[in-house]
Amino acid sequence: MILIRRRLQFFFHEIRRTLIAERIPQYKERSALLPGGLNTPFPIVVEPDIDLELLFKSHEQLQENLQQRHWIVDVKKVEHDYQVWKNLNKQIAEATARRTRPEELHQWSEQLYSLNAKFLVACLRLPAPLHGAVPETGTRKLLYEYGSQRKSSLTMRSWRDLAEVTSLDVAPFSSFAFGEFAQLEYILLNYFNKSLDAYNIQMCSTVNIVKSFVIEAFGYHFSDIKNVFNIVAENDDDENNVELLHLFGTSTPLGIVSPFIRTNFPKDILPYYVYSIGRNYNPHSGQSSCIELLAFSNEHSQHLLLDDHHKAGDERAKNFEDMLKKSISSSGTINPNEVNLKSNSIDFIYIQLATIITSFYHRLNLPLRVCLSPTYELLSYESLRLTIEVYLPSQIDYVRVGSVSLIDDYLARRLMIKHNSDNKSYVAMIHARVADVSQLSKCVLEASQTIGRGIKLPSVLVNR
């Protein structure tokens, strides 16, 4: 009986799902970034521009990149499509010059059109090239460690006991926090806010909800209802006119990049730094409060593994890693007035940002470690990621509270972020999660507990 009921439930659920999918025409489309056809429900907002020649320059590097990221892609098939695509383009160009019969031209154009829909969309989804400093082994590479881990003891209480936190079925993606624990979140946000202001980094408050083409540029799929919070906004006048939007949060790279999509940076403004404070929504990790930073520059990374000349772990990449290590090690004594944020070298900016952000945690006097993430942990738009982790005694482990990711021009090419009014000058970008305050507040709470005297916050948090 129970089995029949479950089957029936599943059956009705499937019917309901199909009916919804029917009503939302966007779900039938292949791509929002490169929409095809006349009746596509996605408007064309940007023109993605991938450097295909560079992408297919080295078969080995592409294969290696995909393998290390644990992606299963038939590289040979994509490369074959690339050759066909190239030939077709060549034939059309020649035919146009020769003024060939329109029927023949039309036939080639149709072939190219259908290939574009598959091949170019597939290329858009390929991951960013790896940075030379990405650990070759499948494990994290420890760059820096600070403070001693306080072991759990009988007198030590977990953040769950110290904080007033409740999880309810009314909101499965987040818990309710009360009183001082809720206030601690705002104290921490204020601390990072002030710390960033000391570096004259600009604050920005932007949108939490973005359109489908934006999430596609970041490697998410708009119909993936298990990994993305989709919003279906129905038009009051026309039931068939539905708009598909996605909830990610202002404190995600998607939210913070949104005011810069399809824009041109003026000549002298780069490098430019901007940060935002706000929500971060994720179906798996729930709702959290984060501070995100984005850096824009006009110089690209020198250490990306684009062709066979560049190799992982080569001398230049090693130098970069040593510089990064050295700079982070000195983060405890950093002076905001002495930090150079004017350089346009994206690799240098990466080192500076990693150092600045680590210094914020130093001042909190928490046991922390800084690691380089292995390739399989990288998201499709990341070329290199450094993670900052703080020790959480009740978990007997470090938890990730911050990160610095090199994006280079991966997103700029997909979302048309340019500089110099030049058609091909795409900006290079770095995204940093300055702090995941929801996670960090647990660490601060456990580290600040005293025996019988409540919570004693670090001195930097006491003065507002």
Partner 1 sequence: MYRVKYLLNLSIRFHSTLTPKFNPWYDYRAYLDQVKTYINRLNPYIELDLRSAALNWDYILNNENLQTIANNIKQRKENESVDIEHILTLHRDIQNLFHRIEDKKLDSIQGEDQIKLKIQDLYNHAIRIPNNTHPDIPIGNQEQARTLRVVGKKPETNIPRQTIDQIGQELNLMQLENMGHVSFRGAYALFGDFARLERALMYYAFEKLTQNGFKMVSVPDIIHRGIIESCGFATRGKRSQVYQLDYGEEFGRYCLAGTAEMPLAGLLKHNTFRKDELPLKLAACSRCYRAELPGGKGEGNLYRVHEFTKVEMFAVTTNDEKVSQEMHDEIVRIETSMYEDLGLHFRILDMPTEELGLSAYRKYDIETWMPAKEFYGEISSASNCTDFQSRRLHIKYINDNGDEQFVHTLNGTAMAIPRMLTAIIELNWNPETKQIQIPKPLRSLMGNREFISKSSSTPSTQWIKFLS
- Of 250-289, binders to partner 1 (CB under 8 A) are 258-266, 269, 272, 274, 276-279, 281, 283, 286-287, 289
When binding is defined by CB under 8 A, the residue of 75, 122, 225, 341 that contacts partner 1 is 225
Give the residue with the Cβ less far from partner 1, 181 or 220.
181
Per the DSSP assignment, residues forming a β-bridge with 165 are 177
Question: Considering only CA atoms, which of 48, 438, 430, 46 is closest in space to residue 253?
Answer: 430
Q: How far is the CB of 357 from partner 1 (least distance, A)?
A: 20
Is residue 130 near partner 1 by the rule CB under 8 A? Answer: no
Contacts with partner 1 by CB under 8 A: the residue count is 77
Q: What is the DSSP string of 4-40?
A: HHHHHHHHHHHHHHHHHHHH-GGGG-S-SSS--STT-
Give the residue with the Cβ less far from partner 1, 108 or 181.
181
Is residue 92 near partner 1 by the rule CB under 8 A? Answer: no
Measure Cα distances from 300 to 50, 69, 347 in Å. 15, 22, 8
Give the residue with the Cβ less far from partner 1, 20 or 142.
20
Binding residues among 45-74 for partner 1 as defined by CB under 8 A = 45-47
Is residue 11 near partner 1 by the rule CB under 8 A? Answer: no
Binding residues among 407-426 for partner 1 as defined by CB under 8 A = 416, 418
Give the residue with the Cβ less far from partner 1, 69 or 211.
211
CB 398 within 8 A of CB 440: no
Question: Considering only CA atoms, which of 315, 301, 311 is closest in space to residue 345?
Answer: 301
Q: How far is the CB of 63 from partner 1 (least distance, A)?
A: 32
Give the residue with the Cβ less far from partner 1, 309 or 464.
464
Q: Note the Cα 149 to chain centre separation in Å.
A: 30
Give the residue with the Cβ less far from partner 1, 44 or 142.
44
Rounded to whole angstroms, the Cα distance separating 306 from 131 reads: 9
Q: What is the DSSP string of 294-360?
A: EEEESS--S-B--STT--TT-HHHHHHHHHHHHHHHTGGG--GGG-------HHHHHHHHHHHHHHH
Q: How far is the CB of 202 from partner 1 (least distance, A)?
A: 5
End-to-end CA distance of the chain, in Å?
62
Span near partner 1 by CB under 8 A; candidates 33-41, 147-155, 221-229, 318-326: 221-229
In degrees and rounded to multiples of 5, residue 127 shows phi and psi of -75, 170
Q: Does the N-terminal peptide bond of residue 25 adopt cis geometry, omega within 30 degrees of 0? A: no
Q: What type of residue is 136?
A: E
Give the residue with the Cβ less far from partner 1, 321 or 436.
436
Provide the mask over 171-210, with x wherever binding to partner 1 is found by CB under 8 A and - wherever it is not: xxxxxxxxx-xxx-xx---x--x---x--x-xxxxxxxxx
Binding residues among 352-371 for partner 1 as defined by CB under 8 A = none
When binding is defined by CB under 8 A, the residue of 53, 103, 169, 315 that contacts partner 1 is 169
Give the residue with the Cβ less far from partner 1, 23 or 76.
23
- The residue count for the chain: 464
